[in-house]
Amino acid sequence: MDLRVAEKVNRKLAATEFDGIVVVGADNFQYLTGAPLPFLHNALDRYVAVFWPKKGEPECICPSQWESTIRKLSWIKQVHSYIESGDNVKAATDALKEIVRKVRAGGIIGIDMGRCPTVLFENLRDTLGELRLQNCDGLLSELRMNKTQEEVQLLSDVAYRTDHGIQGATHHIIITAPRTEMAFSEEVRVHCIERGLETLGYHQLSSIASGENSKQFWPYAPFFGIGGGEKELREHETLRIEMRSSIEGYWSDAARMVMMGEPSPEQKTAYDGLVALRTVAVDAMRPGVKCSEIARIISEEAKRRGIDLIEELGFGHGVGVTTHEPPYVCESDNTPLEPGMIIVLDPVVYGSRKEIIRSKDTVLITDSGCKILGWYKDWRTPFIPARVL
């Protein structure tokens, strides 16, 4: 799938002082190669890297066992493999230095310091003494925050299919027919698979929390991936659905609410409060407005309305080749919004019984404001299942 990322990288890199960049982290490697490799996050001692020069074609290195897979999936044509040994750091460094040394002596090489293991960085520094190594995390963050039109289309599709999968699963709930959280979390996952989504890898999640469990973010920790237990879904409870799935390594991050029966006045008030916070945020999200300002607007609106807002998590984040990436809608992130950014808007509130009320919207920043992506259902109201006597 051509997401036109290479053109964007070349354009941005040409405007920097770097003669090339070296990228080691699993997420940045996928971003720069186009190869979705879900196992990379669990193979931290098996090094992969991309060298992207200002002039010339990008190249990458990987263990020999992965070479054919990366050649098949990646848009990078020059793939160099190394044979793993007792010292993978040395093997990877030796392979990488051979392609980085194509840069002139005294050149500047950017390194993704936020991802690069210290021992690998030190080996590169020692073996590339004729080159200057500098942090390029800012460049990578900027590249990933501003999506191409093709990335926007893919992320919009992922968000829509995930929302459709959640909605499809909720139609199988009958209030008076008991079903466990575990069974329903698996049903949500299967419905997403049926819509062509991938549900594997480090970021994948299908989690259900209801009743007393809905008062916790992770009621079944430390289990991860499919969250749920033998607790039955019961009438009058709130039910929180969280789902993360992907296509070609680009992710959704979804959460939606189900009310098991007609909402009580307290449940309706809490949900309406959450909708109000999302609405005021969407109205304010436009190019030039800082993420910290959106966070301030949400916080002040919650205080004005007396909404029990959970502020410690921030109120949203970017999404792309990971489910959580810059920019972040929080008081400490002063990143100005720009057209092409995609934000998962995620204010979270407590209900009257301290249950967690959460419903995420995926939002695209446009030239004049923003646009909500992926709604299959109008989520200004929660889903209410059928009740059969």
Q: Which is higher by pLDDT, 140 or 104?
A: 140
Mean pLDDT of 67-91: 93
Per-residue pLDDT band for 248 (boundaries 50, 70, 90) equals very high
Looking at the chain, which residues constitute the CATH 3.90.230.10 domain(s)?
Answer: 149-373
What's the distance, CA 296 to chain centroid?
Answer: 23
Q: Mind listing the pLDDT tens digit for each residue in 28-64?
A: 999 999 999 999 988 888 999 999 999 999 999 999 9
- Beta pairing, strands 309-310 & 348-350: antiparallel
Distance CA 160, CA 143 (A): 24
State yes or no: pLDDT of 388 exceeds 90: no
| 298, two tokens | 């949400």
The distance in angstroms from the start CA to the end CA of the chain is 49
Distance CA 163, CA 256 (A): 9
Identity of the residue numbered 200? L
Q: What is the CATH number of domain 149-373?
A: 3.90.230.10
Q: Mind listing the pLDDT tens digit for each residue in 359-382?
A: 999 999 999 999 999 999 999 999
Mean pLDDT of 237-249: 96
Mean pLDDT of the residues in the chain: 94
Q: Mind listing the pLDDT tens digit for each residue in 278-305?
A: 999 999 999 999 999 999 999 999 999 9
Pick the CATH number of 5-145 from 3.30.450.20, 3.40.605.10, 2.40.50.140, 3.40.350.10: 3.40.350.10
Question: 């890297």: which residue's tokens?
Answer: 49
Distance CA 20, CA 9 (A): 11
Mean pLDDT of 239-268: 96
Mean pLDDT of 328-337: 98
Strand arrangement, sheet containing 20-23:
78-82, 59-63, 49-53, 20-23, 108-111, 132-135
Q: State the DSSP code for 212.
A: G
| 301, two tokens | 């609106």
Q: Mind listing the pLDDT tens digit for each residue in 116-126?
A: 999 989 999 99
Instruction: Outline where DSSP puts E strands in 8-92.
Output: 20-23, 49-53, 59-63, 78-82
Are the C-beta atoms of 67 and 79 separated by less than 8 Å? Answer: yes
Q: Which helix (H) or strand (E) holds 164?
A: helix 149-170
Looking at the chain, which residues constitute the CATH 3.40.350.10 domain(s)?
Answer: 5-145
Per-residue pLDDT band for 180 (boundaries 50, 70, 90) equals very high
- Beta pairing, strands 132-135 & 205-210: unpaired
| 220, two tokens | 């079944």
Are the C-beta atoms of 364 and 373 separated by less than 8 Å? Answer: yes
